[in-house]
Amino acid sequence: MAVRGVRGATCLAHDERDEMSAAVVELLLTMLERNALTEADLISVLFTATPDLTCMFPAAAAREAGLADVPLICATEINVDGALPRTVRILMHVETSRARADVTHVYLRGAEVLRQDLQR
């Protein structure tokens, strides 16, 4: 098994707890599904949120979705002029037999513009 990084991002229309929770859970589940991963394959998950998202920690949504024993941490994304607003990014560290080139990175809800080169 190799350790791989799986990237993902999603955008919120509003800084609201219910929307944050739904968007983060959707992104996490999609990342797991598209890479044939289970919770047992997760080593750790890093979440970043743009400074305009203050309604809740993205990791709290992951905990509510059942990621109980996976180490999670949140950070604030760098505030760059012109950056995509209301965006949550995820970097999952996983154990997988997939080659790095076969890892599927996931961008949803308008975040696809961040990495059009990775869209499959």
Please indicate whether residue 63 is annotated as part of the active site: yes
Please indicate whether residue 39 is annotated as part of the active site: no
DSSP the chain: -EEEEEEEEEE-SS--HHHHHHHHHHHHHHHHHHTT--GGGEEEEEEEE-TT--SS-HHHHHHHTT--SS-EEEEEPP--TTPPSSEEEEEEEEEESS-GGGPPPEEETTGGGGGGGG--
Please indicate whether residue 100 is annotated as part of the active site: no
Instruction: Name the catalytic one among 16, 17, 33, 63.
Output: 63
Please indicate whether residue 33 is annotated as part of the active site: no
Instruction: Name the catalytic one among 26, 34, 74, 112.
Output: 74
Provide the residue type at 7 as one letter: R
Please indicate whether residue 55 is annotated as part of the active site: no
Instruction: Name the catalytic one among 77, 95, 98, 112.
Output: 77
Instruction: Name the catalytic one among 26, 34, 112, 115.
Output: 115
Please indicate whether residue 74 is annotated as part of the active site: yes
Please indicate whether residue 34 is annotated as part of the active site: no
Instruction: Name the catalytic one among 7, 19, 34, 112.
Output: 7
Positions marked active-site: 7, 63, 74, 77, 89, 107, 115
